[in-house]
Amino acid sequence: MRKLMMAAAFALPMLGGAAMAQDTLKIGYIDPLSGGGASVGEIGLKTFQFLADEVNAKGGILGKKVEIVPLDNKTNPQESLIQAQKAIDSGVRYITQGNGSSVAGALTDFITKYNERNPGKEVLYFNYAAVDPVLTNEKCSFSHFRWDANSDIKMEALTNYMKGTPSIKKIYLINQDYSFGESVRTAARAMLKTKRPDIEIVGDEKHPLLKVTDFAPYIAKIKASGADSVITGNWGQDFALLLKAAADSGLKVNWYTYYAGGTGGPTAIKQGNLNDQVFQVAEGYANIDNKSSMAFEKALRDKYGFSLFYPRAVNEMRMFALAAEKAKSLEPVKVAAALEGMDYEVFNGGKGFMRKDDHQFFQPIYIAQFGELKNKEPFDEEKTGWGWKGVAKIDADKTVLPTTCKMTRP
Amino acid sequence: MLELVVISTLNGVLFGMLLFLMASGLTVIFSMLGVLNFAHASFYMLGAFFGFQISRWFGFWPALLVAPILAGIIGAGVERFGLRQVHRNGHVAELLFTFGLAFAIEEVVQIIWGKSPVDFRVPSSLDFPAFTIFSTNYPAYKMFMLLVSVAIFLALLVVLKRTRVGMIVQAALTHPHMVGHLGHNVGRIFMMVFGVGTALAAVAGVIAGPALVTQSNMAGLLGPILFVVVVVGGLGSLPGAFIASLLIGLVQTFAVSMNGSLSEVFGPLSPAYASTWLSDIWNVTVAQIAPIMPYVLLVLILALRPMGLLGTRET
Do A224 and B117 count as a contact with CB atoms less than 8 A apart? no
Pairing relationship of beta strands A229-232 and A254-257 according to DSSP bridges: parallel
The arithmetic mean of pLDDT across residues B79-99, rounded, is 91
How sure is the predictor about B257, in pLDDT bands with cuts at 50, 70 and 90?
A: confident
How sure is the predictor about B311, in pLDDT bands with cuts at 50, 70 and 90?
A: confident
Q: Which of B138, B213, B256 sits opposite A221 (nearest CB)?
A: B256
Shortest CA distance from B1: residue in chain A: A224
Torsion of CA A90, A94, A96, A102, to 10 degrees: 80
Q: Tell me: pLDDT of B295 over 70.
A: yes
- A124 phi and psi angles, rounded to 5 deg: -105, 150
State chain B's mean pLDDT as an integer: 86
The pTM of this model reads 0.87
Domains annotated on chain B, with CATH: 1-304 (1.10.3470)
Give the pLDDT score at B132: 85
CA B200/CA B71 separation, integer angstroms:
9
Chain A, residues 29-48, CB within 8 A of chain B, namely 33-36, 38-39, 41-42
How far off is chain B from A182, nearest CA to CA, in Å? 13
Is the CB of residue B82 less than 8 Å from the CB of residue B66?
no
CA B68/CA B207 separation, integer angstroms:
11
Exposure b/e, A103-112, CB count within 10 A at least 16 = b? bbbbbbebbb
Is the CB of residue B222 less than 8 Å from the CB of residue B121?
no
Identify which of A124-133, B2-11, B212-221 has the greatest average pLDDT. A124-133
Provide CATH code, domain A2-149+293-362: 3.40.50.2300
CA A65/CA A26 separation, integer angstroms:
8
Do B14 and A248 count as a contact with CB atoms less than 8 A apart? no
The arithmetic mean of pLDDT across residues B67-90, rounded, is 93
Among the residues of A24-100, which ranges form H helices? 38-57, 77-89
Give the pLDDT score at B315: 43
Shortest CA distance from A42: residue in chain B: B116
Exposure b/e, B36-66, CB count within 10 A at least 16 = b? bbbbbbbbbbbbbbbbbbbbeeeebeebbeb
Do A249 and B138 count as a contact with CB atoms less than 8 A apart? yes
How far off is chain A from B115, nearest CA to CA, in Å? 5
Contacts of B129 in chain A (CB under 8 A): 248, 250
The arithmetic mean of pLDDT across residues A115-126, rounded, is 94
How sure is the predictor about A18, in pLDDT bands with cuts at 50, 70 and 90?
A: very low
Q: Which one is the CATH code of A152-282: 2.60.40.10, 3.40.190.120, 3.40.50.2300, 3.40.50.300? A: 3.40.50.2300
The residues spanned by each domain of chain A are 2-149+293-362, 152-282
- A93 phi and psi angles, rounded to 5 deg: -115, -5
**How many CB pairs (< 8 A) connect A and B?**
91
Cα–Cα nearest to B194, from B24, B65, B44, B28: B28
Shortest CA distance from A212: residue in chain B: B291
In tens, the pLDDT along B27-43 reads 888 887 778 899 999 99
Select the residue from B7, B116, B213, B292 to test the A interface by mutation, using most A Cβ atoms within 10 A: B116
Cα–Cα nearest to B9, from B136, B129, B127, B128: B136
How sure is the predictor about A91, in pLDDT bands with cuts at 50, 70 and 90?
A: very high
Q: What is the ipTM of this complex?
A: 0.86
Select the residue from B6, B45, B118, B213 to test the A interface by mutation, using most A Cβ atoms within 10 A: B213
CA A284/CA A147 separation, integer angstroms:
13
Select the residue from A211, A213, A253 to test the B interface by mutation, using most B Cβ atoms within 10 A: A213
With a CB cutoff of 8 Å and minimum separation 6, the contacts of B236 are B27, B30, B31, B230, B311, B312, B313
In tens, the pLDDT along B130-183 reads 888 877 888 899 899 999 989 998 998 898 888 998 888 878 777 888 888 998
Give the pLDDT score at A200: 95
Q: What is the Cα gyration radius of chain A? A: 22
Same fold for the pair A2-149+293-362 and A152-282 = yes
Pairing relationship of beta strands A200-207 and A170-176 according to DSSP bridges: parallel
Cα of B109 vs its chain's centroid, Å: 19
Q: Is B215 in the A-facing interface, judged by CB distances under 8 Å? A: yes
